[in-house]
Structure 1
Amino acid sequence: MAPRIRVEDALPSGERVSISIEGPDVSEEKVLYLLRTLRELRMASMLELEEKEVSEDTTLKEKIWRVIAENFGDGTW
């Protein structure tokens, strides 16, 4: 059975984020990269709260997908 890593966190704005990676090539480097990405998402959420300019047009789902696409691009690590 392939290893699976699941990371859950709550953003300062109250949303819960849950990300999991699974497969035979899961390594410490990939998990650390995932944690850095989650930290960046958390920091972006804190900045958004500080500015108090939360856009009604952009949903949390869109923000998460944007962060994933920016950091993972075509799906390669």
Structure 2
Amino acid sequence: MEIYEDSEKSMQELMTAETLTPQELSRLLSIDVDTILTAAFRGSLKARIIDHDVVSIDRRDALEWMAKGQP
């Protein structure tokens, strides 16, 4: 299980950010980044994907994903 702790942003900044990287969302939710990446690639979590890389996730999409009982 890999949860990213090395973000330069504080937890307060992460909680109010409009967009997050998969690593930042992992840290914020204390879940494995692979769970986030898998959800993004499967389409259950909306994300911006460029050249097979998940580059960002909108806050509202993360909230919607969590409201559906994910992860």
Q: Normalization by structure 2: what TM-score? A: 0.33
Relative contact order, higher structure (CA 8 A, sep 6+): 2
The higher radius of gyration belongs to 1
